[in-house]
Amino acid sequence: MTINPLDGLRNMLLLDRTNDLNEPNVLYPFALDEILCRQTGRGGPAICHLWRHPNAFVLGLRDSRLPQVADAWAWLEDQGRSTAVRNTGGAAVPLDLGVINISLILPKTAETERHFHNDFEQMYALIREALQATGSLVEKGEIQGAFCPGDFDLSIDGRKFCGIAQRRQSHAYIVQAFVIAEGSGQARTQLTRGFYDRATAFGDPAQLDFPLVEASSTASLQELTSIGADASRVFTDAVKQVIRSLQTKEGMQMASSTLSLPSPDVVHAMAKTLSERYGIH
């Protein structure tokens, strides 16, 4: 029997923060995910968290170990970017209002423990379904030359528009995706290449672990599909529609009864903890 990956996303609560742009610290949504994931592991609801940041650059853990990363970090901050190291897998990613971030926060089960790649399949299925109306074929598999490369790069016509990473806790997990909806994919690759050029300066490339970013590897949904100029909103609405199609009245009543959103102060405290644990010092 074929299992539909979307079945595991039934009765998720939606938390849409794509228009909540007043928080300057890009670690805030990651800290919120961390707290909500702990709640989900204690019996709280599954959550689909959607968010954006106007001007940020998020590093992976391996990027934080590059020899001249402090200089590259300062270069980004001089541009007014909120810069952080995230506690999920993957490598550096630039964020702006044209990038939609999706976090699927789900409880662990015996099945997900045995087949953790299914977690990535769930995100792939969600994004593929959300883009069905465009008529575009969404493929998975590493795209050479893309930033934040991985086995679950999502692409159209050989150009990456989405990367997926994962964070696992004791009793729940988070699958995170960045989706380049609007604007220039090439401009974002050039920014990321600039970061790596500075972070690896004077080092031996053969001895360093970083992606060789190429301008032609990446594009936005606006560039790749018929989604249109308002791609961020259209894509976000499509994701929400897929999630809502999997909700039931009874399931939503139960999920809502177990939800407890943390206060901003609590989230800021977690963001500080993450910064102290993973940041560049």
Any idea where the domains of the chain sit in the sequence? 5-278
Nearest alpha carbon to residue 99 among 192, 199, 10: 192
CATH architecture of the domain 5-278 equals: 2-Layer Sandwich (3.30)
Residue 82, helix vs strand vs coil: strand
C-alpha 281: how far from its chain's center? 24
Residue 205: pLDDT band by 50, 70, 90 thresholds?
A: low
Which pLDDT score, from 0 to 100, does residue 118 have?
A: 81
**pTM (predicted TM-score):** 0.94
Active site residues: 148
Nearest alpha carbon to residue 101 among 175, 172, 36, 183: 175
pLDDT at 160 over 60: yes
Q: Using DSSP bridges, classify how beta strands 13-17 and 47-51 pair: parallel, antiparallel or unpaired.
A: parallel
Residue 40: pLDDT band by 50, 70, 90 thresholds?
A: very high
Which pLDDT score, from 0 to 100, does residue 204 have?
A: 67
| Residue type at position 36 | L
